[in-house]
Amino acid sequence: MNLTRREAVIKLAVLMGASAVGPRLLARSFGLQTPTEFSDADIALLDEIGETIIPATKIPGAKAVGIGAFIAMMVADCYTPTAQAAFKTGLAKLPADYAARHGEKFIGGKAENRTAFLNALDAEQRAHTAANRKKAEGFAAGVSTEEVPPHWFRVARELTILGYFSSEIGYTQALRYLEVPGRYDGNVPYKQGDEWFV
């Protein structure tokens, strides 16, 4: 079988693409469903949550990197069914809880109200984490105990930070990237507004 260089490159590109997205496509072709399905409304809400956590300034915010789709993919692919269910339940409650507290929709709501609401959720997740730390440690160590899923907002916040700062925008515009860092200098002068080094 003779292949031209062009055909070989095309076949290699298809093969590499299939290795990246293939398992999910293969699962769907066999009728398997991702344990947690996210609607377009869920993705839009996750985008707005991400944008509230990392808002746009002179640098694009979390919404610009498609953080909602990233969070949905990570939850569906990397979390246990129990954690996925807890995440979906918490996410579904957010619009009604926010509207009851602030009398407006979260999407399109005032920035200060959204920030205050997410700060309250963050305090709630810290209390949840502290209260369930022993159970979670026992589960992780293989002790026979029921899994304690992380608070859904902790997952959303951590994935927002991970997704944003591992994106091209986060890595090249929000952080100061040194391709060849050279020596370590623990006393680099810093002035307000400088990007962090990576």
The tens digit of pLDDT for each residue in 136-152 reads 665 555 655 567 889 99
- 32: confidence class by pLDDT, cuts 50, 70, 90: very low
**Domain assignments of the chain as residue spans, ordered by start:** 34-197
| pTM for this model (two decimals) | 0.70
Averaged pLDDT, 4-19 = 63
DSSP-assigned letter for residue 132: T
> Which positions ≥6 away from 37 have C-beta within 8 Å?
76
Say if CB 116 and CB 47 are below 8 A apart.
Answer: no
d(CA 53, CA 70): 15
- Return the ∠ at Cα 22 (arms to 18 and 25), rounded to 5°: 130
Q: What is the average pLDDT value for the chain, to the nearest integer?
A: 80
